[in-house]
Amino acid sequence: TRAEGGTNNVEAYDKFLQATALDRQGSSVATVLRARQQYRDALALDPHFARASLALYNMLTRLAVLAEYADTATREQAEIAAALETQSPNAWWTQLVRADQFTLQHQWADAQAAISAVQASPEAATGGSISVQYVLAKMGRIAEAAGIMEKEQRSDPLSLYASLDLQRILDESGRDAEAQAEYERSKSLDGDHAETHHHALFRMWRLPGTTPLQIKTQFDLIVAHESLPMALNAVAARAAIRDAFDAPANQDQLRMFVIALYAAHYGDRDLALAAMKRRFIDMKSFSFFQLWYPYEGNLRSDPRFKQLLRDLGLADYFLKSGDWPDYCKPIGANDFECQ
């Protein structure tokens, strides 16, 4: 119903269901673009259909990490946020979008206040928890976010995108074996598996007992989906990754994330941290939850990672609020360490 953020327009609801079906199938650009149009069509029929606005806002994040769509996607998100502030400023869905917008501005205390308002709303449990986990993860509260995502995945076990979200948050929680088990389960789900295959490769690098043949087999699954050069030889890989770091085609948030992961795996700590800095500071990435990804070589212990948290305003928020992320802790009143 309208009071719950829904719609009384049957045609708009039908468009919403079609978009949601596409949304569940993964993150290929073609699928996301089709879903975007269906959400837009639903909102054209009913501009006050808040759940469609929230779903579209969340889905646009998948386009905003790509250079060719970043500006239009972030602009559309800002338009959605402004419309919701006008239509329903006190609703839980507006608080969710407000919280995310605060994270983009590095206003972490305000983001936490908005999320607390959502968590205090009983109505939000019917559609807001998946968005809550993204904001919590951005602030480094990975275990709390993982608990929410596990419930979401159980409520929609046939959604490939829910499975991907769960795999990623389990990775960030250090629960590699569980993430790998969910990856194996997800192989039978409909949708584009490119991203799950890639995360599985990063995970297999960390899992004990993975053989070179298994690594090569996983490379073969993803090589068609990624523009970065692939190599099993460490020396050749490091050279290829350094070239990729400056290649014009790779200057977007998503590819910088991949470069950081490859550089960390092949032992180029400096390049991995440089890619993270370029992504989160120079490119103003909003995917802060991937700060907490288990990059090999324990990058979180490096002083440059601490500086990254300072530059993003997170360190100041942690020190003032005492609300520490899972992987950092205070040292005295004015310092901290991460691991």
Beta strand ranges found along the chain (DSSP E)? 328-331, 335-338
pLDDT band at 43 (very low <50, low <70, confident <90, very high): very high
Determine contact, residues 198/226, Cβ cutoff 8 Å.
yes
If you average pLDDT over every residue of the chain, what do you get?
A: 90
pLDDT the model gives residue 218:
83
Specify the DSSP element, H or E, that contains 187: none
User: For residue 126, what are its two tokens?
Assistant: 């019917």
pLDDT the model gives residue 106:
97
DSSP-based three-state secondary structure for 247: coil
pLDDT tens for residues 166-204?
Answer: 999 999 999 999 999 999 999 999 988 988 998 999 999
DSSP-based three-state secondary structure for 329: strand
Measured CA to CA, the distance from residue 282 to residue 280 in angstroms comes to 6
pLDDT tens for residues 301-331?
Answer: 999 999 999 999 999 999 999 999 999 999 9
User: For residue 77, what are its two tokens?
Assistant: 């998100």
- Report phi then psi at 330, rounded to 5: -75, 150
User: For residue 90, what are its two tokens?
Assistant: 């006190």
pLDDT tens for residues 248-258?
Answer: 989 988 899 99
Is pLDDT above 90 for 229? no
What size, in residues, is the chain? 339
User: For residue 321, what are its two tokens?
Assistant: 């609020």
Q: What is the DSSP letter of 338?
A: E
pLDDT band at 228 (very low <50, low <70, confident <90, very high): very low
